[in-house]
Amino acid sequence: MQQVFHRPVSLKDVQTHFCPGCHHGTIHRLVAEAMDHFELQQRTIGVASVGCSVFLYAYFDVDVVEAPHGRASAVATGVKRARPDSFVFTYQGDGDLAAIGTAEIIHAANRGEDITVVFVNNTTYGMTGGQMAPTTLVGQKTSTSPYGRQREKDGAPIRMAELLAQLEGVAYSCRVAVDSPKNLMVAERQIKTAFRYQVEGKGFSFVEVLSSCPTNWGMDPIKANERVGAEMIPYFPLGVFKNVGNL
C-alpha cells in the first residue's frame, strides 16, 4: 500500500509551539509540501519575520535568516540578489507585512523581486497579545481597540493581495484560506503556483492566507475556524488577483 499522508521532508519532526487551533501549523505544512513538490529543500533560504512564526527555523529544515520586524522582504531581496540560484521565500504576519513592513513589501513587489511571499493574515498581532492590526475588521475588539475598530479613525482593513496586484512588478497574487477541506485544496494548489513562478524565474509571487488566532480572538478552535468563513472571507475574498503567466 502506498503511504499518502506523510510529513514533508522540508519540515522537521518536532512539535510546534502554536496554540491549539492555530492555522500557522497547517500553513507551514502547505508551504513545506510545495517545497517538496519542486524539490527545493536543498537550495531554499527562508526569511523569518517577527511574529508567532518567528521560530520558522525550528520547524523548516532549510536555511533561515531572521529579519527585523517588518523587513523580511528587504532581507529576502538581499539574499536573492546575492544568491540568485537559491529559492527564497518570506513568511510574514499581517502586523509584520501590512503595518511596519508596508514600505518594504511594496517596493520589493514593485521591483519584481524573484521571491515568494507567504502572508498570514489573522486580523491581529498574535505574538504581542492581540492588538489591532491593519487587517483587523471594522468593529473587531482588540486590546488596543477596546471599543472596536472604527473606520473613521483607524481606517478600513487593508486588502494586501488586491493592493499588490496593482503593481506592475507582481507576477502572481492570490488569497486563500485553510478553514475547510475545499479551501485547503485550493490553497495547496495556489501556493504551488506561487512557488512555480519563482522556480521558473518569472517574478514576484504573493500568497495571502487567511488564518485563525483562537487565543487572541478569545474563541475556541472550532469557533475560530468558523470565524474565518463567516467574517473574514466576506471582507477578504478568496481568489487570484493576478496571474501574468497563467501558470
Q: Is 210 exposed, middle or buried (0-12, 13-18, 19+ CB in 10 A)?
A: buried
Question: Is 141 or 189 the residue whose CB approaches another protein more closely?
Answer: 141
d(CA 59, CA 228): 25
Q: Does 121 bind ligand SF4 (CB under 6 A)?
A: no
Question: Is 70 or 203 the residue whose CB approaches another protein more closely?
Answer: 70
Q: Does 58 bind ligand SF4 (CB under 6 A)?
A: no
Q: Which of the ranges 7-15, 34-42, 105-113, 146-154 carries the binding residues for another protein, by CB under 8 A?
A: 146-154
Q: Of 241, 239, 243, 223, whose CA–CA distance to 231 is shortest? A: 223
Taking the complex as a whole, how short is the minimal distance between the CB of residue 128 and ligand SF4, in angstroms?
9
Q: Does 203 bind ligand SF4 (CB under 6 A)?
A: no
Q: In which order are the strands placed within the sheet that holds 63-66?
A: 63-66, 44-48, 87-93, 116-121, 204-210, 170-177, 239-243
Q: Does 72 bind ligand SF4 (CB under 6 A)?
A: no
Q: Does 215 bind ligand SF4 (CB under 6 A)?
A: yes
Residue 53 interacts, among ligand TPP, ligand SF4, another protein, none and using kind-specific CB cut-offs from 5 to 8 Å, with ligand TPP
Would you tell me how many other CB atoms lie within 10 Å of the CB of residue 213?
Answer: 27
Q: Which of 177, 194, 199, 213: binder of ligand SF4 (CB under 6 A)?
A: 213
Q: Which of 8, 10, 11, 24: binder of ligand SF4 (CB under 6 A)?
A: 24
- Biggest CA–CA distance in the chain, Å, is 59
d(CA 131, CA 144): 5
Residue 44 interacts, among Mg ion, ligand TPP, ligand SF4, none and using kind-specific CB cut-offs from 5 to 8 Å, with none
Q: Hey, which residues does 60 pair with through a beta bridge? A: 11
Provide the grid cell at 63.
Answer: 536555511
Contact 115, 77 (CB under 8 A): yes
Contact 186, 199 (CB under 8 A): no
Q: Does 225 bind Mg ion (CB under 5 A)?
A: no
Contact 105, 73 (CB under 8 A): yes
Residue 7 interacts, among ligand SF4, another protein, ligand TPP, none and using kind-specific CB cut-offs from 5 to 8 Å, with none
What is the contact surface with Mg ion in residues (CB under 5 A)?
93-94, 122, 126
What is the contact surface with ligand SF4 in residues (CB under 6 A)?
18-19, 22, 24, 52, 122, 126-127, 213-216
